[in-house]
Amino acid sequence: MSLALTVARPYARAAFAVARDEGKFGPWSEALAFSARIAADPRVADLLLDPELADADAVALLAPSSYDESYGRFLALLAESGRLSLLPEISGLYEQLRAEAEQVVHATVTSAAELSDGELDSLVAALKQRFGRQVQVRTAIDPSLIGGAVIAAGDVVIDGSIKGKLSRLQNVLAS
């Protein structure tokens, strides 16, 4: 997996540079996400490895219905290089570069129960203050947390769940 990320990184940077220069972060995000979803399908992944598949056919298979010329050239370059299978990694790396450029932190808040709008707003405000950036939150529910929440934002994980506290307590008592 780390080799795939290493190989995908220059392509993601190139895609990001083109999107930045064209002022089209959003359309490139959507196009890359679409192509990545298709390329990740096991049936398509096998097809992309077929040496008899023409590059133009591969591009037509992976391109969204409405894409601009620069995105088509990008896919053609990936096809020529035999790198279409890296689209999921390229898309993920592109999103990281975009978030950095736009000063946005993507956070996932997993809670034991659904959070109210007020709780979510307070949480977003606290995260915005902590990171000094805009925060986009995605929520998930995991009843096994018992109570509280786990917040994952980039490399930072804040575990305020009862399950996490019990686990830390168990580790202390076992020591």
**pLDDT-based confidence at 74, cuts 50/70/90?**
very high
Please state whether the predicted TM-score (pTM) of the whole model is above 0.85.
Answer: no
Q: How high is the pLDDT of residue 34?
A: 96
For all residues of the chain together, what is the average pLDDT?
93
Q: Tell me which of 3.50.50.60, 2.70.240.10, 3.40.50.1820, 1.10.520.20 is the CATH number of domain 2-100.
A: 1.10.520.20
Q: How high is the pLDDT of residue 1?
A: 53
Q: How do the domains of the chain map onto residue ranges?
A: 2-100, 104-174
Q: Tell me which of 3.40.50, 3.30.70, 3.40.30, 1.20.120 is the CATH number of domain 104-174.
A: 3.40.30
Give the Cα separation of 158 and 60 in Å (integer). 43
How many residues can be counted in the chain?
A: 175
Dihedrals phi, psi of 71, to nearest 5 degrees: -70, -40
Q: Pick from 62, 64, 43, 42: which is nearest to 54 by CA?
A: 62
Whether 2-100 and 104-174 share one fold: the answer is no
Q: How high is the pLDDT of residue 2?
A: 77
Condensed to tens digits (0 to 9), the pLDDT of residues 111-122 reads 999 999 999 999
Give the Cα separation of 4 and 107 in Å (integer). 24
